[in-house]
A and B are shown apart, each in its own frame.
Chain A
């Protein structure tokens, strides 16, 4: 088996992973940085982000405002020290991205333009028409190529963290092209693999979003935090779940029901004057309620409401929202210049993830996490749109900074023993390849998992269905161990990769269901029909889920409060 040594091993090549790689490579030019990803970095799901990235840019904005908006958006579950750091670092990070070539849209004076976004007091979302994720990812990836000390492992699937004396010292990774395992050793490992939206059937997420980093950390004994909080984006295309950005509303678009009403204005959904620019959790709930009140539209792919951009005019749509126009035309046959776009709430983002501190460090020495796969937490119970891309940059850099310092003082570890762990893992996966004795089909388990999660962990939840979800996901955990695989080839065996991903998905889903069932209150995106109010007395804490053979074991972690005192969340 190949054994390679690096100082830092980064798993995941999206915005957080690339930013971490660049930071580590710049901070210590003599360090070797491994960037390991199951896809070529430019395929990472960062690419699909549309609306923009948040950071203070205008005279009428300041740390206090961005901080308060974010805390309030989180329904007071986010850690205020992390938010303070985040909003302070955000402008610097986006300026770096600009310096590295990101083609941000501009004001008339040539400064970077900003647009309005949900739950934000002022215009602080930096954008590149409606393709910020694509441009951010490509700018980061291309900039990363100038650093010769970044060594890429493209299309390598990491299936195990290598741990010695309680410290993380590398990964075991399957080279998808050859089918051979590699031992990739590092003095520190940073997980930046994104979220796991594909555990749900209807999601904006690409097929690669299978919760891999979360499952890797969880199996290694590191707790997952606040996993019950899943963001439903209000506006996905029925059928495919393709994202239609919040920037449509930032640019002045309306949500209308079947009576043609702007229901966020006509009825009281708690968003006040913000109307279409309320936070995502509230608007998704409003859409579901409109549909339940009989004021939605019915279609072949479920009920929906209208996103009306027709009053914006063709010029504005072409200059500000060209990708939205392309997506609507190609994927639902609607030209938003003349016709409202059918939309419904869609699983978009996981607020929860691998528990880290403000530096991106997990409780395991040598293991760090950043981006959607991590939970710092700046998002609490509900993330504000356009904070997540900036989060990837701020905490990707922070994690790399601390990992580089940690690596200086840490030993290399015992190569023979780490290699033995990787060989054991290679043997396990070798047994899975072409495993014809199994009884369960991958596509069937995935379909059942999707259905369980949609029924249990939707926009609205209740104890009866949550408990059913807990039981059903636990049962799937047993069944996913008995998969039947047909493909015996070593070369680019995507069935084998899918099987490994599905195991990760089932594990993450069970944690999500168990965490959600325990929280008997409504906070942010976790909304219970049987516990309709927020309960700070009993639930103002982070949910911590630890791996246990019998199923996730829950604990608590204090929320870091501060100058922003929890209050009723009204807009």
Chain B
């Protein structure tokens, strides 16, 4: 048990012109995560502090915040690793709604824009060949699963957008998580939508805007490695485009 000063960014658009900082001196248990400190303040000291959280087991993705300037999943970040003063801010590179709560509208729009679902070229009825005859499930080898599995592990915590130097300058940049998600479907043996997504990836503010700083992969709490996804997606989009130059109709077959 040790006392710490927790500094929380406060912002209420009805009252504040810009975000301000508020300090709370609280007793902190040794085993606490950073989220436990924020919850303690909310429950016992100042119920007006607003933040998001739910699962407290690093899988729902709600509780991303800046901790001493770095984007962190606060339920997975050990408080005792920090010193006497811990500065907790809303995730960088997002508009603030209130206190530690940021706006997801742009993120959700980017997320949906990569068509994150299985696209099949043919109708289901003609599509039986690739599936198990009775069960209706696709056959997918362990290797095929392994091709995309890592990129399917994103919990949408948005830490990578806070860390990304490109997002900081170009808020419309499609960004790490959305590109990794689109790429995840491109790599899925059940999917036939690569061409559509590569068209999206060749647009402005997508894969080619990435400066390959690798910050996204470094902050990812789930080791998704979105930087690798972006690099692979760049390559794929270029190859697809080049094929289109020499072969009619995209040359996908």
Contact = CB atoms under 8 A, between A and B. Distances in A.
A494 B42 CA distance: 10
B57 A106 contact: no
B137 A243 contact: no
A518 interface: no
Nearest to B151: A103
A571 interface: no
Given A39-B62, A43-B54, A331-B57, A95 B137 contact: yes
A493 B115 CA distance: 33
Contacts, number: 148
Nearest to A442: B47
A120 to B, nearest CB: 18
Nearest to A49: B59
A493 B61 contact: no
Contact of B139 (A47, A110, A239): A110
A410 interface: no
Interface in B101-116: 101, 104, 108, 112, 115-116
Contacts of B99: 492
B48 A134 contact: no
A142 B53 CA distance: 21
A327 interface: yes
B148 A103 contact: yes
Nearest to B44: A443
Given A48-B60, A206-B56, A99 B118 contact: yes
B156 A492 contact: no
Interface in A137-158: 138, 142-143, 145-146, 154
B141 A110 contact: yes
Nearest to B190: A101
A491 B53 contact: no
B232 interface: no
Interface in B3-56: 12-15, 31, 42-44, 46-48, 50-56
A485 B14 CA distance: 18
Interface string A98-113: 1111011110111110
B48 A443 contact: no
A111 B48 contact: no
A131 interface: yes
Contacts of A92: 136
Contact of A106 (B54, B58, B142): B142
For chain B, which range describes its interface: under 10, 10 to 19, 20 to 34, or 35 or more residues? 35 or more
B135 interface: yes
Contacts of A491: 12-14, 97-98
B145 interface: yes
B54 A207 contact: yes
Contact of B112 (A145, A207, A242): A145
Given A331-B57, A491-B98, A493-B50, A101 B14 contact: no
A206 B55 contact: yes
B228 interface: no
A45 interface: yes
Contacts of A206: 54-56, 60
Contacts of A327: 57-58
A487 B47 contact: yes
B134 to A, nearest CB: 9
B249 interface: no
B138 interface: yes
B140 interface: yes
B55 to A, nearest CB: 4
A465 B114 CA distance: 55
Given A43-B62, A242-B56, A103 B145 contact: yes
B82 interface: no
B223 to A, nearest CB: 10
A134 B59 contact: yes
B202 interface: no
B47 A108 contact: no
Contacts of A44: 60
A39 B12 CA distance: 20
A95 B60 contact: no
A303 interface: no
Contacts of B59: 47-48, 131, 134, 323
Given A98-B138, A240-B56, A491-B12, 14 more contacts: A43-B52, A43-B55, A44-B60, A47-B155, A48-B55, A91-B135, A95-B136, A101-B118, A109-B139, A111-B137, A206-B56, A491-B98, A493-B50, A494-B50
Interface of B: 12-15, 31, 42-44, 46-48, 50-62, 76, 97-99, 101, 104, 108, 112, 115-118, 132, 135-142, 144-145, 148-149, 152-153, 155-156, 181, 185, 188, 190-191
Q: Which 7 A-B pairs have the closest CB atoms?
A: A110-B139, A206-B54, A492-B98, A443-B43, A95-B136, A142-B116, A487-B48
21 contacts: A39-B52, A43-B61, A45-B55, A47-B61, A47-B155, A91-B135, A95-B135, A95-B136, A98-B138, A101-B185, A101-B188, A103-B145, A103-B149, A106-B141, A207-B54, A208-B54, A323-B59, A330-B76, A331-B57, A486-B48, A489-B15
